[in-house]
Structure 1
Amino acid sequence: MKDIMHYLLPPNGKPASIAPSLNRIKRGVGTESTGETPFPAVGANGTSNGAQANGHHHQQLNGATNGLHGHAALDSLAQVTPSKREPYPYDTAPEPGNPTVMPTEILSQFHFAFLIRDPHHSVPSYYRCTIPPLSDVTGFHNYDLSEAGYDEVRRTFDYLRSVRLIGPHIATQERDADDIDDRLRPVTNGLGHESGAEICVVDADDMLQKPAPMIEAFCRSVGLEYTPDMLNWDTAEDHQYARDAFEKWRGFHNDAIESKGLVARKHPHPVKTEEEWDAEWLKKYGPEGAALIRKAVDANMADYLYMKQFAMRV
């Protein structure tokens, strides 16, 4: 599954505590229960009944809310009592070092891979979806700097490394992560992980330069069987599936919906100076938009370049 990492962390670098919907209450700890409580009704990203995640703002999307299309999951297990408090901070205990609201016990059940993209491309790509004419389709009418997500990806990545849920080996590289950054030597996590899944980071530009080798390397890293037909989706059934899957996010993924496969770029992105980037954004988005894009790019480049060190190379 693909999801957005910053939905699992409090916004603006706030300290995390475990989401109540994911917090198993142990017997005899503040409860008369005879055992652990089941997980209560949750929507996407640990939110109750499709509600807001960790203080991140809520958007109405083409008639569906941002949380399992407005429906709660696991409704039969428990009834969530509405709270009059703000959605965050939670009144639950944090886990030392864990920047997310998800317990490490649950994080350990996933095999993580990371998709990154140069902010010079990702920030304006998202920004244009928040201004006319696309904003009338997407339903997003403001660009929030806190939603770029690079800081959250880096902090989660580093935590997973520190508890050895990933690493130290890096997919396709001869060096280990500890050779790049040895600050994150493993700590005792109680989960028995001496060495985690190999680090799998895919840079979007690298993938579009060499799609077949990159997807094959990705599959090898995460344990999937690679077949060349993974790069093609040009049947009526495929196109209908894409339209249905992306319906909720209309306006954001039109290029993907209309595509027929993953093909290599004929020419790599031209190398531009920062002044050339600024001139391009000024021409496309005006002074206010260009200034906002520049601020977001500058705020996230260090985190992108940090993650880039661990990216697969083919």
Structure 2
Amino acid sequence: MVRKLKEQTLEHLLVESIYLILLELPLQSLGNFPTSSHPSCCNLQLDVETTTLVCYFSLFFLVLPSKMAPRPIFAATHPRACSTAFERVFMTRRDIMESVHEPFGDAFYYGPEFLSDRFRDDADQRERSGFADKTYKDIFDQVMDAGNEGKRIFIKDMAYYLMTPDGKPTKVAPSLGEEEPGNPTVVPLEILKQFQFTFLIRHPRRSIPSYYRCTVPPLDEVTGFYNFMPNEAGYEELVRLFDYLLKEGVVDKDNLVVVDADDLLDNPEKTIRLYCEKTGIDFKPEMLEWNDQDSKFASNAFEKWNGFHNDAIKSSALRPRTHAQKTSTTESENKEWTAKYGAEAQKVIRKTVEDNVAYYEYLKQYALPV
């Protein structure tokens, strides 16, 4: 039987397979199928075993994919973009979705293919993390395994976890394949194509000071990030990923999904509805309300990055903010940051903000109209 199969061309097998499925014959009757009446150009003569195997191939390649979940969603973002509150919305849909929270930081910071300088000279910390052996391939395997039950995968993660910091050339991770010239990420293009990419942004004058706070006392003792690194702002990498996916046709310019955090906070229901329409998720208003079970699930998921998600964990809902967003000037911001963190820190924060405004504004032009 195997020898006979090898002698047939793939095209012939597909023709036979499609014909068998269209006729909707019961499996036990396939052996008596009159092969002389097949529309095959070569009038294949298939025995019972071969015909049955071809039918199974047909079911696998033509029928089962229609039953499978749509492409995994990858919500790419930068730090402190209200992305965890955004993520909590989709964690409520455990009936249809598997949420995977920021998996690639394991490989970026701690694994044998690590790219970040944060723990480069601290092998003990990388070992204590529990992720010192995690390659990028290991992470992708874990991500795809999350969809084994047929649920759609939802990933929220930082774009900069997929690139060498400071705009340096990035090569495909050794565990994932060979170098791809022009690819700014560690991930082969063929893998990137498997995901539906969406993007979440926030103005750097709000995200950068928030991230700085997580890297200095007293919160640094909780987060384990003991110094502020401007190259973790994440905007440049998000734009590089966005542009590459656009150039390669992984995302469609006419169907981009970019969410601005201010829109999310001002009008969460409309923003989430639009996002769900664009990504094929069945929206339910109760996604914006989180019960004790939802909170417990989120708390367990966020435990790995302790200290970064406290506000999102404590929240019980995503409701429109009731107070108008404070109007600030450069002078008032500088004064506030100096009072909180000191004069030198204020200068670092200001420079990091200014370095990233153009990246934010570039992506902002594509934001969903809320």
The TM-score, its normalising length taken from structure 1, stands at 0.67
- Please say if residues 76 and 197 of structure 2, whose CA atoms lie closer than 8 Å, have aligned partners that are also in contact: no
Q: CA deviation at 1:52?
A: 4.7
For 1:237 and 1:284, the matched residues in 2 are separated by 36
- Please say if residues 219 and 307 of structure 2, whose CA atoms lie closer than 8 Å, have aligned partners that are also in contact: yes
Q: CA deviation at 1:55?
A: 4.1
- Please say if residues 257 and 278 of structure 2, whose CA atoms lie closer than 8 Å, have aligned partners that are also in contact: yes
- Please say if residues 112 and 133 of structure 2, whose CA atoms lie closer than 8 Å, have aligned partners that are also in contact: no
Q: Which amino acid aligns with 1:269?
A: Q
- Please say if residues 50 and 65 of structure 1, whose CA atoms lie closer than 8 Å, have aligned partners that are also in contact: no
Q: Which residue of 1 aligns with 2:217?
A: 132
What are the superposed Cα offsets for residues 159-179 of structure 1, whole Å, 9 maximum, x if unpaired? 11111111221xxxxxxxxxx
For 1:306 and 1:263, the matched residues in 2 are separated by 27
For 1:56 and 1:219, the matched residues in 2 are separated by 37
Equivalent residues in 2 for 1:205-224 (5 A)? 205-224=262-281
Equivalent residues in 2 for 1:106-255 (5 A)? 106-169=191-254, 198-234=255-291, 236-255=292-311
Q: CA deviation at 1:94?
A: 3.8
Q: Secondary structure at the match of 2:369?
A: coil
For 1:67 and 1:164, the matched residues in 2 are separated by 34
Q: CA deviation at 1:46?
A: 8.9
Equivalent residues in 2 for 1:39-118 (5 A)? 44=104, 47=107, 50-58=111-119, 60=125, 64-65=129-130, 94-118=179-203
Structure 1 pair 146–247 and aligned structure 2 pair: CA distance change class (3 A): same
Q: Which residue of 1 aligns with 2:21?
A: none
What are the superposed Cα offsets for residues 97-130 of structure 1, whole Å, 9 maximum, x if unpaired? 3211211111110000001011111111111011
Q: Which amino acid aligns with 1:128?
A: R
Structure 1 or 2: more helix by fraction: 2
Name structure 2 gaps, 5 residues minimum: 1-72, 80-102, 143-169
Q: Which amino acid aligns with 2:259?
A: V
For 2:188 and 2:135, the matched residues in 1 are separated by 24
Structure 1 pair 107–231 and aligned structure 2 pair: CA distance change class (3 A): same
- Please say if residues 44 and 67 of structure 1, whose CA atoms lie closer than 8 Å, have aligned partners that are also in contact: no
Name structure 1 gaps, 5 residues minimum: 8-42, 76-87, 170-197
Q: Which amino acid aligns with 1:226?
A: F
- Please say if residues 278 and 294 of structure 1, whose CA atoms lie closer than 8 Å, have aligned partners that are also in contact: yes
For 2:288 and 2:78, the matched residues in 1 are separated by 28
Q: CA deviation at 1:271?
A: 2.1
Matched residue count: 238
- Please say if residues 62 and 139 of structure 1, whose CA atoms lie closer than 8 Å, have aligned partners that are also in contact: no
- Please say if residues 74 and 195 of structure 2, whose CA atoms lie closer than 8 Å, have aligned partners that are also in contact: no
For 1:117 and 1:67, the matched residues in 2 are separated by 31
For 1:3 and 1:217, the matched residues in 2 are separated by 14
For 1:54 and 1:135, the matched residues in 2 are separated by 21
Q: Secondary structure at the match of 2:206?
A: helix
- Please say if residues 75 and 199 of structure 2, whose CA atoms lie closer than 8 Å, have aligned partners that are also in contact: no
Q: Secondary structure at the match of 2:253?
A: strand
Q: Which residue of 2 aligns with 1:282?
A: 338
What are the superposed Cα offsets for residues 7-49 of structure 1, whole Å, 9 maximum, x if unpaired? 9xxxxxxxxxxxxxxxxxxxxxxxxxxxxxxxxxxx8469498
What's the Cα RMSD here? 3.2
Structure 1 pair 296–247 and aligned structure 2 pair: CA distance change class (3 A): same
Q: Secondary structure at the match of 2:214?
A: helix
Q: Which amino acid aligns with 1:298?
A: E
Q: CA deviation at 1:50?
A: 3.1
Q: Which residue of 2 aligns with 1:301?
A: 357
For 2:191 and 2:290, the matched residues in 1 are separated by 33
- The percentage of counterpart residues that share the same residue type is 42
